[in-house]
């Protein structure tokens, strides 16, 4: 497999559930990202990891917890979510953290619905 | 002012015509810009990047950057139905060096 792979593609969860989103990149990149995409809103950066170290937490509520065990894998652990958290969650990677000349490669996303 | 602004559309263009997509940016955004195409239910895909004032052409796509007026454009020549998608404009935030996206413009090419 090549590129950035996300699982699951779709997820429905109740507000009391705990679930995890998984992302895997096969591009040899050093930086990985979580973005949230909601209808009629710009892509919102949530977290950035560079060489497995979290370098940015963009004021994301603690009910979202990222984990980066190695440079190829990224997880987003979810617990006690709210209905407004329903969105498309996109994982991305780039060769290095500075995106100026190192644009993002996105996965196909996980469509999350919180009931 | 939002850092990156786009008209959300929808923009409808007849097949074979030129589609023109526009994006403006604030002083908080640097002059490295990217255009991503996102088909419905799919991930954003990078199609063009532009760093210098002027035009950059790649096949049927031309990106234009006007630093004085702080806008970026994407022109699609000989539009095809397969060009129907949402186009996202993104610039690099000066402060944190991270990509800042516009809301996207939904483009429909009418056969």
Whether A60 has its CB under 8 Å from any CB of chain B: the answer is no
Residue with the bigger pLDDT between B30 and B80: it is B80
B103:A105 CB<8 A: no
pLDDT of residue B9: 83
pLDDT above 70 covers a percentage of chain B that reads: 100
The minimal CB distance from A104 to the residues B97, B99, B102 is found for B99
pLDDT of residue A2: 61
pLDDT of residue A101: 64
Question: Which segment, A54-68, B76-90, B91-105, is predicted with the most confidence on average?
Answer: B76-90
DSSP letter (8 states) at residue A89: E
**Cβ contacts of A98 on chain B, cutoff 8 Å:** 97
Q: What is the DSSP string of B2-61?
A: -SEEE----EEEETTS-EEEEEEE-TTEEEEEEEEEE-TTS--EEEEEE-SSEEEEETTE
Question: Which segment, A21-25, B7-11, B68-72, is predicted with the most confidence on average?
Answer: A21-25
Q: What is the mean pLDDT of residues B21-32?
A: 90
The minimal CB distance from A107 to the residues B43, B88, B97 is found for B43
pLDDT of residue A70: 92
pLDDT of residue B1: 74
Q: Measured between CA atoms, how close is B2 to chain A, in angstroms?
A: 10
pLDDT of residue A39: 86
User: Which residues, 6+ apart, have CB-to-CB distance to A28 below 8 Å?
Assistant: A95
Q: Which residue of B has its CA nearest to A104?
A: B46
Q: Calculate the alpha carbon distances from B109 to A5, A104, B33, B64, B78 in Å.
A: 29, 26, 24, 21, 10
Q: What is the mean pLDDT of residues B75-81?
A: 98
**Cβ contacts of A105 on chain B, cutoff 8 Å:** 46
Low-confidence ranges of chain A (pLDDT < 50): none
**Cβ contacts of A41 on chain B, cutoff 8 Å:** 103
Residue with the bigger pLDDT between A41 and B37: it is B37
Q: Which residue of B has its CA nearest to A10?
A: B41
- Output the CA torsion A98→A74→A29→A55 (10° steps): 30
């Amino acid at each position: 497999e090549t590129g950035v792979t996300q699982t699951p593609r779709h997820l429905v969860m109740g507000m009391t559930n705990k679930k995890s989103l998984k992302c895997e990149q096969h591009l040899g990149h050093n930086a990985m990202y979580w973005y949230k995409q909601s209808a009629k809103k710009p892509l919102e950066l949530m977290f950035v990891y560079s060489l497995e170290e979290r370098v940015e937490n963009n004021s994301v509520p603690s009910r979202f917890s990222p984990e980066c065990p190695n440079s190829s894998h990224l997880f987003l652990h979810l617990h006690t979510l709210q209905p407004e958290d329903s969105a498309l969650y996109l994982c991305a990677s780039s060769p290095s953290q500075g995106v100026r000349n190192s644009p993002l490669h996105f996965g196909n996303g996980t469509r999350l619905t919180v009931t | 002012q939002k850092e990156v602004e786009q008209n959300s559309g929808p923009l409808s263009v007849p097949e074979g015509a030129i589609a023109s997509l526009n994006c403006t940016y604030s002083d908080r955004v640097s002059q490295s810009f990217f255009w991503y195409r996102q088909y419905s239910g799919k991930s954003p895909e990078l199609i063009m990047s532009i760093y210098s004032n002027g035009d950059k052409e790649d096949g049927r796509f031309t990106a234009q950057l006007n630093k004085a007026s702080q806008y970026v454009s994407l022109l699609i020549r000989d539009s095809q139905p397969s060009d129907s998608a949402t186009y996202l404009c993104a610039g690099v935030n000066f402060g944190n060096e991270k990509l800042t996206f516009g809301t996207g413009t939904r483009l429909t090419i009418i056969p």
